[in-house]
Amino acid sequence: MTPDVISANPAPAPFAIPVRIYYEDTDIAGVVYYANYLRYLERARSDWLRAEGIELDVVQRDLGAVFVVRRVEADYLQPALLGNLLTVTAEPIEVGASRMTILQRVLRREGERDTLLFTARVTAAFVAADLGGPVRMPRAMRDALKKALPPAITDPA
């Protein structure tokens, strides 16, 4: 690859957390139970929001609103197993007035490469905490979330 083809501003790596697989996560064969992947995604999204300066308990208390998962499109590609150390990512791909869409992946490190085990596209809605329906995110919150969008999504050129 020649230098003129390499991007001067490569896309930042998605936010990621480590997750170790324990007995409690698996079935008798040592394979992660399918619903546990959703728990791992939730942890990564919550930690990503915290890293962006959005504390969910403060948002609920001060704004009377919460994020709820509205839709999940998931693909289970390979099993995670007892003892695996996984990486779970959260990468926003769309931020609107009262919802956001996050691309999430679960990977297992194998030697020098990562193996993709699971991928999901999660849509979260911002709603009144009493479940009264969608509400607009405050502009500062939306702006913070939009800053985390990959450059190709934020730059229309």
Catalytic residue numbers, as ranges: 27
Q: Which residues, 6 or more positions from 157, have their beta carbon under 8 angstroms from its beta carbon?
A: none
Q: Which residues, 6 or more positions from 7, have their beta carbon under 8 angstroms from its beta carbon?
A: none
Contact 36, 25 (CB under 8 A): yes
- Tracing tokens 């969008």 back to the chain, one arrives at 149
d(C-alpha 122, C-alpha 142), whole Å: 17
Beta bridge partners of 113: 110
